[in-house]
Amino acid sequence: MTGIVPEIPFKPKPDSVSRLVDHHPDEAKSKPRRHKWGSVEVLSCSGGHRIERISVKRGRQLPAHYHEHRSEHWTIVAGEAEVLLGDDVLIVAPDDSLYIPAGTVHGLKTVGDNVVQVVAVHFGDTVSDADDMFEAG
């Protein structure tokens, strides 16, 4: 190799529509969805990603589930929790983060007397809840 870096042409506009376009523009404007275990608020949704704030009430748990078409990155921002991640059970606290690959069973159970809050970033071809959330067990 001669050390010469080839020039990469830049196209200001894509030739076709990306498969990672925002398919859920109204979802980002929605109110938090309430569940018996807590709530989910969509903070942003576009370009193949979605950002949510997940709150799990004390003494409750986010049911074990998986997604076929998207991965997730979780950052714990409040409270302590037991997290099921595949075959492992982890204890997490604020500032801990987890990567959850597509197809991996995951869930969360609060520990102690605090609400657990998670910021979740979803990546994939499809990032809506209707696409591929399957309860495990």
Would you state the pLDDT for residue 136? Answer: 55
- Read off the CATH number of the domain in which 101 is found: 2.60.120.10
The count of domains in the chain is: 1
| Residue 4 domain flag | no
Closest CA to 97 of 115, 113, 81: 81
pLDDT tens digit sequence for 2-40: 566 556 555 444 444 444 444 444 444 568 889 999 999
Instruction: Specify the residue for token string 């193949």.
Output: 48
| Residue 53 domain flag | yes
Would you state the pLDDT for residue 45? Answer: 79
| Residue 35 domain flag | yes
Q: What is the mean pLDDT of the chain?
A: 79
Residue 66: domain span: 27-135
| Residue 108 domain flag | yes
| Residue 7 domain flag | no
Extract the tokens encoding 86: 């595949």
| Residue 126 domain flag | yes
Would you state the pLDDT for residue 24? Answer: 47
For residues 62 and 54, is the Cβ–Cβ distance under 8 A? yes
| Residue 14 domain flag | no
Return d(Cα 28, Cα 33) in angstroms, integer.
Answer: 12
pLDDT tens digit sequence for 74-96: 999 999 999 999 999 999 999 99
| Residue 72 domain flag | yes
Would you state the pLDDT for residue 104? Answer: 93
